[in-house]
Structure 1
Amino acid sequence: MKFSFSRLLGIGVLMFSALAAQAHAEAPKHNVAEVNGVKIHYLSAGKGDPVILIHGYTESSHMWLPLIAALSKDHLVIAPDLRGFGQSGLPAGPYTKSVMAQDVHALATSLGIKSAKVVGHDIGLMVAYAYAAQYPKEVSKIALMDAFLPGVGNWKDVWLLRDLWHFHFYGETPLALVKGRERTYFEHFWNDFAADKTKSLSEADRKFYTSEYAQPGHMKAGFEVFRAFEQDAKEFANYAKTPLTIPMLVLTGEKASGEFLIQQARLVDSNVEGVVIKNSGHWLMEEATAEVVPKLVQFLK
């Protein structure tokens, strides 16, 4: 097959454009800040309109890498490891979602961020809601991704509480049982909370998170997040008395939270868009990346 010079030039231009676009996705930087009495590790990338991404249990800021790549073209993206998780510090407590939100807010303040859009998944959505409830004038949009809000509506009937045992699985005996078996414990979440365990977290990510949580003190910190649910429920019930008016996007997995979280969200915010991701379970970023990332990018514009 013969190619004219102009056609070859055109192909070259297209290849160059594709490579340039790929290079434009800035690799996130690793940073550490001492805020609110705790060391917080966070990823940062891009510049412009700030977006804060808050991870959930069994994961860390690492979960957001695909979204960071998409958002950093137009936004300053900040993705912290919550206290007790990833590379952040391990305070004795408290691990209420309100205090964890105060950590994130203190980090934002230290970076000169006066207003941000906030996204949270799993435990992170509870922290995101607590952030917006405590600082409503400093949040322009909020996205909640598959879990539930303790203390809001009929919250004890939520799908994720079908395995109630692990929300009370803390203390010396549970810690002894999971020591050296962290992955076995996490496989329950990664496999059973997915619509299809073969489309859940990758093998590389499973190894990465197991290594992070196997660090001394990290499993205990994770368990303290569950121990705090009773206090979270009291605080969230009080927050809900003053509904938010912030634009809120709620993304849930059809095989996970479904309509439940959307119904809860409408009890705490008057401006809610709810989307159930078909054929997906709890791990939306991993199970439905191609649908979830564009939806978040569009909402956060």
Structure 2
Amino acid sequence: MLRVNGIEVGVTITGEGPAVLLLHGFPHTRRLWAEIVPRLARRHRVIAPDLRGLGESERPPDGYDAGTLAADAEALLDALGEPTASVVGIDAGAPPAFLLAMRRPGRVRRLVLMESLLGRLPGAEEFLAGGPPWWFGFHAIPGLAETVLTGHEAEYVDWFLDAGTRGRGLPREIRDHFVAAYTGRDALRAAFAHYRAMPVSAGQIADAVTSGRLAVPTMAIGAHPVGDALARQLRPIADDLVTHLVEDCGHIIPLDRPDALAELLEPFLAEKTTLAS
């Protein structure tokens, strides 16, 4: 546990070398990276925190917008004495990773974004043609989802874990850990606070793009269901972008197709980077 940006954050730190910061999404914790951390730790100092409000991290009443989450990430690097890091974000971890790279490019050597959308940036129109995923609206209404789901957290989390692996599921230990992390009204409240902050996050992303370009070398990785929507959002604003689609892979790439993900991450993170000014 480390105190960063005014909150207590649970974090796993292992390995030696250039720092890599891993930011998970919903309904996950830092255990999302269980298959990836040992591989990256052979050459890197791997830093995997629980996002604000999730897992072992403190559940404050506010601060769930992407800008504050980016500040949490930067404060964590400060606390660990890391002036720079490569940053990998998936799902809810992608917008703060993006904003950190946009706002503080000198601190981000390389950026990897997976299975997420960046606010209302153009490029995701096809993905959103039928409207955003149903749970976005459900989670956004203050108090509703907590009231409905308390006592049924396991069934709800299981739906996301099954869908996110295209029915293949997760190892029982990790599944049970995720369920426990999202059990209880306050745990649900903190989780859904990330969704309730999305309008603020979208405005922060739009402002960042208006005032500058993404100069950090970036890799976008898609699977099912987001596919290439994220890459389409990034292409007009990124100076150095590579994109990949992982075949036959669900949303939870690090646990559904860890070997394929490692094959993409390891060489990309190992490349030399000239830091942006």
- Normalised by the size of structure 1, how large is the TM-score? 0.84
The CA distance in 2 between the partners of 1:188 and 1:150, in whole Å, is 24
Greater helix fraction, Structure 1 or Structure 2:
1
AA aligned to 1:64 is W
The CA distance in 1 between the partners of 2:246 and 2:176, in whole Å, is 27
Matched, 1:186 2:157: yes
RMSD: 1.7
Preserved contact between residue 124 and residue 230 of structure 2 (Cα < 8 Å): no
Question: Cα distance, 1:291 vs. partner?
Answer: 0.7
- State the number of aligned residues: 267
Preserved contact between residue 168 and residue 226 of structure 1 (Cα < 8 Å): no
Of 236, 246, 260 in structure 2, the residue corresponding to residue 277 of structure 1 is 246
Question: Cα distance, 1:92 vs. partner?
Answer: 0.4
Between the aligned residues of both structures, percent identity stands at 25
Matched, 1:94 2:68: no
Preserved contact between residue 151 and residue 232 of structure 1 (Cα < 8 Å): no
The CA distance in 2 between the partners of 1:91 and 1:80, in whole Å, is 16
The CA distance in 2 between the partners of 1:114 and 1:151, in whole Å, is 31
Match of 1:174 in 2: 145
Q: Which secondary structure does the structure 2 equivalent of 1:39 belong to?
A: strand
Matched, 1:65 2:17: no
| 1:1-301 paired onto structure 2 within 5 Å | 32-155=1-124, 158=127, 162-169=132-139, 170-194=141-165, 196-198=166-168, 200-215=169-184, 217-241=186-210, 242-253=212-223, 255-301=224-270
- Normalised by the size of structure 2, how large is the TM-score? 0.91
The CA distance in 2 between the partners of 1:48 and 1:161, in whole Å, is 43
Preserved contact between residue 138 and residue 145 of structure 2 (Cα < 8 Å): no
Question: Cα distance, 1:215 vs. partner?
Answer: 4.6
Q: Which secondary structure does the structure 2 equivalent of 1:137 belong to?
A: helix
The CA distance in 2 between the partners of 1:256 and 1:270, in whole Å, is 26
AA aligned to 2:117 is F
Question: Cα distance, 1:188 vs. partner?
Answer: 2.7
Match of 1:4 in 2: none
AA aligned to 1:185 is Y
Q: Deviations over 1:10-29 (max 9, x none)?
A: xxxxxxxxxxxxxxxxxxxx
AA aligned to 1:182 is E
Match of 2:275 in 1: none
The CA distance in 1 between the partners of 2:149 and 2:133, in whole Å, is 17
Higher relative contact order (CA 8 A, sep 6+): 2
Q: Which secondary structure does the structure 1 equivalent of 2:206 belong to?
A: helix
Question: Cα distance, 1:101 vs. partner?
Answer: 1.1
Gap runs ≥5 in structure 2: 271-277
The CA distance in 1 between the partners of 2:241 and 2:126, in whole Å, is 21
Compare 211-220 and 62-71 and name the one that shifted more. Answer: 211-220
AA aligned to 2:107 is E
Q: Which secondary structure does the structure 1 equivalent of 2:236 belong to?
A: helix
